[in-house]
Amino acid sequence: MDDCLFCKIVAGDIPAEVVHTTERTVAFRDLAPQAPTHVLVVPRDHYANAAELATGDPEAMAELVRTAAAVAVAEGYADDYRLVLNTGAGAGQSVFHTHLHLLAGRALGWPPG
């Protein structure tokens, strides 16, 4: 997608602090972190939301979670982290390229939001 921010980050056209990559995913620090560790994990291929990715490439959806877990371990949070997928503007999705938020490093209350 020519106008997708995350596609541009994956392509290397826009700089980001990349912390982990796999064949199917790229993980980079969020520019507006909501926790001491706030990393976004995106599929290299463009899918608008989590449901679209799960239908179109279920293995890539699983890879998002595996990548997030690897980043959590590398950041020292193997046992305490939150994963969030927002789908749709009403749920807080602002970039319409599937992205998994990895949040860690502080107490995360429930319910969120």
* Active site (catalytic) residues: 99
Strand partners, 18: 28
- Angle at Cα 12 formed by Cα 73 and Cα 20, nearest 5°? 10
